[in-house]
Amino acid sequence: MADVRPIIGMGALGEIISDKTELAKGAALFDGKQLTHLSRYENRLFADAAGSGATPYKVSLVFGEARSDVKGRCSCMAARSRPFCKHAAALLVAWARAPQAFVTAEAAPVAPAGTGGAKKSVKKGKAETGELMKAGVAQVSTLVRELGLSGVASLGAERPEQVRALGEALRANGLRRLSARAVELAGLLDAAAARTGTFEAPVYTDLVADMLLTARKVEKHLGGDALEPRHVEELIGRTWTKKDRTPVTGLTLVEYAFSSRVTPDRFLVRESRFVDLVSGGHYSEKQILPASLKTVEPKKSRAGFVLQGAVGGQYPGFAPHRLDLESWTGGTPVDRASLERLVEVALPDVGAVMAAFQEHRKDVFAPDLLPVAVRVETLLASGARSQFVDGAGRGLFLPVDASLEEPLAGALEDAKLLAVLGDVGLEAALPTLFPTALVVRTPEGLDLRPLGRSEDAPVSPRRRGRVRAPVTPNALPRSGWAEAARAAGASRAAIALAEVRDELADAFASGLSAVGPRAVEPLVARLQELGLEKPGALLDALARRPDLVERLDDFIKVYQVLGIALVRLSGAVQVETSALESVPTHPSIRVHRSEEVLSPGEAMVRRARGELTRYESAAHAARYYARLGADALTRDYYPAWSDGAASAFVARTVAARGEAALDAVRDALAEHHSRMVRRTAIRVLGAMGGVQARRELDAMTRKGHDAGLRLFAKETLEDVHARETGEAAVAELLKRRRERAVPLVQAALSETTKEERGAAVGRLAELGSAAMPALRQVLHGDPSREVRREAAEALARMGDAEVIDRFVQLVQGRSHDDTEAKHAVYALGMLGDVRGAEALLVAFADGWKPGVVAEAMRTLGLALLQPALNLAETRPEVLERQALRGLFEKFNPAALAKELLARVEASRESTDLVDRAAVYLKVAAQNAAVGKQVAARLLALPSVADDKALSKLAKKLL
């Protein structure tokens, strides 16, 4: 058929739509921006049109052979009685006036009833496309020149919005990369115009430099200098037909990540990320559809299977290379052999990652991120930035991102780290690995553990570190690479170069007039000291040019060259591994060794103040419990047995006593103890093994016990049987559990409706520990609050102590999200972990939902006693609340008396003994027998006996 080209002019449109009134209405709708989600597929156009109701109308056009052969369809009532309603007329006007605003979809929405016609190709007007691109490039060049001359200090309030509008127009004109950069730049200019303290000069200069270089590249392309296909995809994008794709065969693919996200222009992108077990290359499979489209079969996750002999077409572009998968054979579950092969094809060490990343950064038009798989042995979790460390002690930084903490902790619990998969990019001056999945070795074998995140994409690699305070009221605040590099322990040369680059960025943000001879003289000298004579000479020369416009291109060149040099200098950091110690529950996580030993309570306080990481806090707790010795750990359940972070350590220590520990275990299994205490007891039995342990575990699997603990006991009993039978039985048990989980994992991660994903989560919760990694991934990454909540409740029932931090944070942030906090309270009660007690107590003391919190606290039992007394000591005013005083009435009198008397003894020499004594007496007064014992002990202390008010209160209790 003849090409379908944009029709320009109202007269030409009148050949198709004879009703001039309807055509005028359509033009008005288009001018009023009443059309959204403009897309095209083959010979059809689609859009949503705003109507009088809440739901938009679905409108489409179908093009035939002749130019006038166009059929309009719409879901509005008017379309039933006329060839073209005003919405269809508006869509035709949009195609005539702004063809580049239409995004090509990979499948068509279901058109309104009656739409037909053969499949044809709707083609762009090539001349119009080129002219629109040229116009966009010219606008970007003008913007960069204006910003270079004026800087950002004198920005008007309207400027950011103008840049944002430019970004949207660039997208419509096919300038993909320039559009993204302009939108990002608009956000920075918002901060600059508002002087909010969040403007970052290095980020600003990076963006402006990238926009200028991209504009120059596209300008040459439009002048006849053809782009490489991979640069076409990165810079401007295009629709690649099957003949444009490179045939690939013989791939053996394993999916290590799956994401589903909606782009700013309302397109739904579902993506699988793969690694090829043959070459080690990284690939992706994407489905891109209008977000409003509900009828196309969604792309599913391929997690858990090896796609053998995969065949398809590879799109042009950078890694991860996009594939159109056509076929594969096998589809066997991911097993030990495939994961061993994955580790084998991964980069051997951090040095190899740095070499690959430096090569990647040499291409200034390459994406910000480079996908990698690399063998590492340790996660160093001390200081502001954690690091993955290889066998030679070379570290690669992780981003400063609190949302990574829980997924990493869950993935590395009782596991040895073998490899990490993710994306390398720049954050501050530091090459940073944004992890996506880990390969670990567990007692059951090798495992691939994705790291589900609330955000599908990595944290922006453009973030540069902490914002510095402005030095004067009108100054623009700055932040830079050097500060972050220094804090992270980068080399002196990298810090020096980062400082030079920061100063250049600050000057550029003030305008090129600030890049003068006097300003650059010390910078040139420092560059010479670093062996960068050529960039230094170019900087000196450009600063001497009187015409500011002539400084721009060379400034950008110097800035980019220094950026490449900085990547080279700020490579892997050497870690002194002999000064590290492992976290007992996470053998591959290590922290800097500390000489002092803090109690779990003291460690938590310091962690709350930001002085310790969660793992440093766990290491202190482990040393504290280790010093108590096996006898004390066997005798005293609280807090050790109720501390989820110490549970595995306690189980190993107590189990070493053999059958001598059975009486303690049987007592700990009593229902008046918290669920975490009983879970620890089951762990002890699992570590012990033998006939008696199996009998106790079998009894726990019977009805009458908590469902979550029954499941844990059943699984532990299976583990004991398999371990005592031999390695083959252990391997078979692991295989069976994985095979049961794989289809449910896929459904939980990739079904399109929250109801289907929620149902999969519910069934996963019945599978035990094999389902925990997937449930954590759902908890951290599912877009539905309801599904995340179901995963959270399932993990709490299963006793997953690795997610407690999330629940504590939600309770602490109860003023921001009341509903989420309430569900977190239920989860903390279900876990029965002593580490959640303080958050519950504070909420209770503050009078927040006392009924809900009280119900959760009851399940903690005696685990609540020590935290409750700690709260009373630090915040005596809470005892004025009858609800909190009444809490102490419910504790076992003997246990309450024992704890209070121990605290009296420990406080004898304290300078604040009188204040503490007042607290102890108020607490003891809740039980007559306890009151007599505590009062008698306190009156024996001279400082208490001499205090008239205290002695009077104590004598009342006798």
Report in angstroms the alpha-carbon separations of 205 from 211, 268, 367, 479.
10, 31, 17, 12
pLDDT for position 466: 32
Inform me whether the pLDDT recorded for 115 exceeds 80: no
522-535 confidence digits (pLDDT tens): 999 999 999 999 99
139-179 confidence digits (pLDDT tens): 999 999 999 998 887 777 788 888 888 888 888 788 889 98
**Residue 110 and residue 108: Cα distance in Å, rounded?**
6
pLDDT for position 346: 97
Inform me whether the pLDDT recorded for 240 exceeds 50: yes
% pLDDT > 90, the chain? 30
For the chain, give the mean pLDDT: 84
The model's confidence at residue 198, banded by pLDDT at 50, 70 and 90, is low
pLDDT for position 279: 95
The model's confidence at residue 882, banded by pLDDT at 50, 70 and 90, is confident
Inform me whether the pLDDT recorded for 512 exceeds 80: yes
- The H or E element containing residue 518 is helix 517-529
> Which of residues 287 and 606 earns the better pLDDT score?
287
> Which of residues 98 and 897 earns the better pLDDT score?
897
pLDDT for position 476: 31
User: What average pLDDT does the segment 640-666 reach?
Assistant: 88
pLDDT for position 369: 93
pLDDT for position 63: 83
Alpha-carbon torsion, ordered 28, 30, 32, 35, to 10 deg: 140
- Residue 599, strand partner residues: none
810-860 confidence digits (pLDDT tens): 898 888 888 889 999 999 988 989 888 888 988 888 889 888 888 888 888
The model's confidence at residue 57, banded by pLDDT at 50, 70 and 90, is confident
pLDDT for position 280: 96
> Quick one: tokens of 618?
């766990």
**Residue 958 and residue 956: Cα distance in Å, rounded?**
6
pLDDT for position 519: 92
Report in angstroms the alpha-carbon separations of 847 from 487, 841, 843.
41, 10, 6
pLDDT for position 97: 79
Report in angstroms the alpha-carbon separations of 419 from 343, 388, 438, 456.
6, 10, 6, 21
pLDDT for position 39: 86
pLDDT for position 350: 94
pLDDT for position 403: 77
Closest CA to 873 of 912, 820, 830: 912
In a 3-state reduction of DSSP, which class is residue 581? Answer: strand
**Residue 514 and residue 724: Cα distance in Å, rounded?**
75
**Residue 461 and residue 432: Cα distance in Å, rounded?**
8
Inform me whether the pLDDT recorded for 607 exceeds 80: no
Length of the chain: 958
> Quick one: tokens of 916?
């503490």
User: What average pLDDT does the segment 884-908 reach?
Assistant: 85
